[in-house]
A and B are shown apart, each in its own frame.
Chain A
Amino acid sequence: MIRILLHLILLLPVLSWASAEHGPVERDHIEAELVADISAVVPGQSFRAGLRLLPEYGWHTYWINPGDSGLPTTLDWHLPQGLSAGEIEWPYPQALPIGHLVNYGYEGEHLLPVTIDVADSLEPGTRVTLTVDAAWLVCEEICIPGDARLALDLEVVAGAGDQASRHAELFERTGQRIPETVNWPARFNTEGNSLSVQVVPEDIGIERDWAFFAMTENLVEHAEEPVIVAENGQVLISQPLSPWMTAVPDELPFVLVDKAGNRAWQVTATAGELVSGGALAEPTTPGWALALLLALAGGVLLNLMPCVFPVLSIKAMSLVSGAGHDQRAHSLAYAGGVVVSFAVLAGVLLALRAGGEAVGWGFQLQSAWFVALLIYVLFALALSLSGLYDFGTRLMGMGQGLTEKGGAKGSFFTGVLACVVASPCTAPFMGAALGAAVFMSWPMAISVFLALGLGLALPMLVLGFSPALARRLPKPGPWMETFKQAMAFPLYLAVVWLLWVLARQTDATALALVLTGMVALAFALWLGGKRASGESLAVARHTAVGLSLIFVVATLASAARLDGGGSGLPDDAHWESYSSERLDVLRADSNTAVLVNMTADWCITCLVNERVALNTVAVREAMTEHDVVYVKGDWTRRDPAITDYLSRYDRNGVPLYVVYPRNGDAPRVLPQVLTAQIVIQALERS
């Protein structure tokens, strides 16, 4: 008898496996049930079904990446003809600490839903049975595997109506935890024994209470909480790698959770170096269209910038007053000048990028000589507007000064000039939009630049092609002289701003040189504008103008020479400036270790890393305590010595962090996203 009972008991699981169970079933420490969000199936209308699990208090099951141990729950569907099931749509998990490990899973009642597609051919009035083989691992401290063959009968009905089941609310609640799949730009990197992820959440802002879950198994050390920093439009995540990681995947799917808003997004990051500029984007077509639109609007706005408006308003006047000219031809030539200039700039930018330079818009402002040149051009324009010299009519509309013959050629060069004077204004205002263009494929990037140029040219084009509109402009008259003089002042302000830029790039000496150059320029223009009153005087005048101009050019050359001189270290700097000689000296000293930080002002990741890690008190103290010399290389301007250093680590961009141990061991590259802990640990081991 006992033997028979024993056999029966042994057979029980087999029996229960063979015949599917309806409704909730009890297994060790867990209740399981196959449920749907509808109470009746409608042909052609997909619905959701899912495994409802209710582990006992303190027990849990697992997410698709179970963490340091455990197994994800599996579903194997057996569906009648006309129904088909998708993959599990995993709600985002909880991090569950188990001893010194962390698992990703679910406690309490939870649901693993799938979408069931329904064929049109299903007959109303019939019944369908959904069957699923579910297998799970339910764990507390200890783990119990469980499985069940679960079934659900549903009627097929013809029409719509209220078919919500009593589990609809559970589906609703679970739905909020299912990440929305998005294609936000994202990169990841496993340098320095740490996972570094960079992602740009589009359209939703970054000021959120973020949580991060890697979906790839066996990649990160789940027990170490990821460090998440959100700044400048991007979210940076750092989590140590698992010592059991065997291979770096090409792609990393992960889930970002807004803990406060109870929303989640699933993003896929591609392997590679983190992007150092303001934006990383592999824009989709709508993104591109939007960028084009923004660039066009931005271009129109540029007309109002202090460095552009004075020039263009006067150009507009000349267009109106020169009623006899062919206004269309003028405005077309002008637009051509603007667009061609922008195309040239885009070409230069892309060529530099192809050469491996991590340049952003405003790169032209990284050269002190270019800034100085702009200062002179704008200053000369302003002086002209103020009426210091009498090139008045010749320079009216600026570019026309280049070609006294006037005509289309003059307008073309006005366009070029507009682009040149616009560029200092674009740096602060258009930086972000153009930053994105830098990371676009080249046809997209060029198109964005062209759209910007077209936008800049647009008002003049409209004026040229709409005589009605042009007529509505105020009639020419003496007021134009006053207006012209007033317009000089925004230009002076633009000059002040550029002088400030120059001062930041170089030093007081260069600033003094350029200011002297400005005086010489003013002198030359003033003298040059004076009417000659005698042969010998004219010679003297020309000589003086010539000498002054030579002096101006000389100051420009000096500024260029000072370029790269660099600004001094702030008084409280806890670093030294990089030079390869200094690094060699430091490495030769067996008492000190060295931390090298290669950075740039335009590298947002770099700045974030400095703020959250390198400049913290804890890291500074660790540097002192462990006798680590902190060496910083500034790549804001392309320093060939730093480019050379980067290339030794197969890099063509920043950031790069390297620790040289004091015992002369091989240098160690740190992750691209730093935390204070990562740096301190690296310093301890140096």
Chain B
Amino acid sequence: MKHPLPYILAGAAALVFSAAVAAAPQVGEPAPDFSVVDTEGNVHALSDYDGQLIILEWTNHECPFVVKHYAPGNMQMQQRRARDEHDAVWLTVISSKPGSQGHVSPEEADELTATRNAFPSAVLLDESGDMGRAYDARVTPHMYIIDTDGILRYMGGIDSNPSRDPEDIPDATQYVVVALEEMAAGEDITHTVTRPYGCTVKY
């Protein structure tokens, strides 16, 4: 070891870097905790939903991939089915930082819900991005299912066709819908981790 300094520096850089990259949550493990305000100023935490099924949906209303699923009503349909048929809590999360694309005021968020005829239990405004980073949410839409014991059961894309073409929605596997049905039937979830596709979250 003739020149230890570069190695020490490389090692130190590696340490710093490794600390900066948050590990993605693991399916089958307890879901990361969060504490975020919604559009009405109420604080939502994971612990508030003990014994309830939770769906998390990262969104950005200006992202073409989000529009792909809202314009034909696919996302709204999934919200209704999750809440009505599976008694789930649907939390739509916006992690865009202030000033970046997709960041909205509470009023704008409520208006988007109304105009799009969306059906979330609440829309969370994660301006700091803490919740998004805890879940390693990368794109919009990015979906997560947490079961009644607080265990993460699904994370990944909205469906199996990574495209921006709404016409291919009927041919795609809608991962959240399928997983919820499998959970209700007491079966193992076929797809527990899938590729999330969409626009990057604007942290």
User: Which A residues have a C-beta under 8 Å from some C-beta of B?
Assistant: 68-69, 71, 98-101, 137, 139, 141-145, 217-218, 223-224, 243-246, 615-619, 621-622, 675-677, 680-681, 684
Contacts and interface: CB of A to CB of B under 8 A. Distances in A.
A306 to B, nearest CB: 34
A616 B164 contact: no
Interface string B6-31: 01101110110110010110000000
Contacts of A622: 11
B164 A71 contact: yes
Contacts of A245: 193
Contacts of B21: 100, 223-224
B195 interface: yes
A680 B138 contact: no
Interface in B151-203: 155-156, 162-164, 191, 193-203
Nearest to B102: A142
Which of A100, A621, A684 has the most C-beta atoms of chain B within 10 angstroms of its own C-beta?
A100
A507 B191 CA distance: 58
B62 A142 contact: yes
B174 to A, nearest CB: 16
A653 B172 CA distance: 43
Contacts of B1: 615-617
Nearest to A618: B11
A137 B63 CA distance: 11
B194 A246 contact: yes
B62 to A, nearest CB: 7
Nearest to B24: A243
A69 B198 contact: yes
Which of B18, B21, B62, B138 has the most C-beta atoms of chain A within 10 angstroms of its own C-beta?
B138
Nearest to B64: A145
Given A69-B200, A98-B200, A676 B64 contact: no
B7 A244 contact: no
Given A69-B198, A99-B203, A141 B10 contact: no
Tell me the interface secondary structure of chain B in the complex.
loop
B11 A616 contact: yes
A616 B200 contact: no
A99 B7 contact: no
Contacts, number: 96
Contacts of B201: 99
A33 to B, nearest CB: 22
A676 B138 contact: no
A143 B10 contact: no
Nearest to A136: B164
Given A100-B203, A217-B195, A680-B11, A69 B101 contact: no
B24 A680 contact: no
Nearest to A675: B14
Given A137-B164, A618-B11, A244 B203 contact: no
Contacts of A676: 7, 10-11, 14
A142 B10 contact: no
A143 B8 contact: no
A618 B7 contact: yes
Q: Which 3 A-B pairs have the closest CB atoms?
A: A618-B11, A243-B24, A677-B14
A677 B200 contact: no
Contacts of B163: 71
B195 A218 contact: yes
B166 to A, nearest CB: 11
Interface string B132-150: 0000101100000000000
Given A243-B24, A677-B17, 20 more contacts: A68-B139, A69-B139, A71-B162, A98-B200, A100-B203, A101-B200, A137-B64, A137-B164, A139-B199, A141-B100, A141-B200, A142-B202, A244-B195, A245-B193, A246-B194, A616-B7, A617-B8, A618-B7, A618-B14, A684-B18
B41 interface: no
Contacts of A145: 64, 164
B51 interface: no
Interface in B65-90: 65
A681 B18 contact: yes
A69 B162 CA distance: 10
Interface residues of B, number: 40
A144 B64 contact: yes
A101 B22 CA distance: 12
Contacts of B191: 246
Contacts of A217: 195
Contacts of B17: 677
Contacts of A619: 11
Given A101-B200, A142-B199, A244 B11 contact: no
Contacts of A137: 64, 164
A244 B156 contact: yes
Which of B7, B24, B198, B200 has the most C-beta atoms of chain A within 10 angstroms of its own C-beta?
B200
Nearest to B201: A99
A621 B11 CA distance: 9
Contacts of A677: 14, 17-18
Contacts of B18: 677, 680-681, 684
B14 A143 contact: no
Contacts of A616: 1, 7, 10-11
A678 to B, nearest CB: 9
B101 A142 contact: yes
A500 B65 CA distance: 69
Nearest to A572: B1
Given A99-B203, A137-B64, A145-B64, A244 B196 contact: yes
B172 to A, nearest CB: 15
A617 B7 contact: yes
Given A137-B164, A618-B14, A68 B64 contact: no
B101 A141 contact: yes
30 contacts: A68-B139, A69-B139, A69-B198, A69-B199, A71-B197, A98-B200, A101-B138, A101-B200, A139-B199, A141-B202, A142-B62, A142-B202, A143-B63, A223-B21, A243-B23, A244-B155, A244-B193, A246-B191, A246-B193, A246-B194, A616-B1, A617-B7, A617-B11, A618-B7, A618-B8, A618-B10, A621-B11, A622-B11, A676-B7, A680-B18
Contacts of A621: 8, 11
A245 B193 CA distance: 8
Contacts of B164: 71, 137, 145
Nearest to B8: A617
Contacts of B101: 141-142
A622 B1 CA distance: 16
Contacts of A218: 195
Nearest to B200: A69
Contacts of A224: 21
B200 A68 contact: yes
A63 to B, nearest CB: 14
Contact of A68 (B62, B100, B138, B202): B138
A155 B202 CA distance: 48
Contacts of A144: 64
B67 to A, nearest CB: 9
A622 B10 CA distance: 13
A615 B1 CA distance: 9
Contacts of A675: 14
Contacts of B65: 143
Nearest to B12: A618
B66 to A, nearest CB: 11
Contact of B4 (A68, A71, A246, A617): A617
Contacts of B24: 243-244
A100 B137 CA distance: 11
Contacts of A680: 11, 14-15, 18
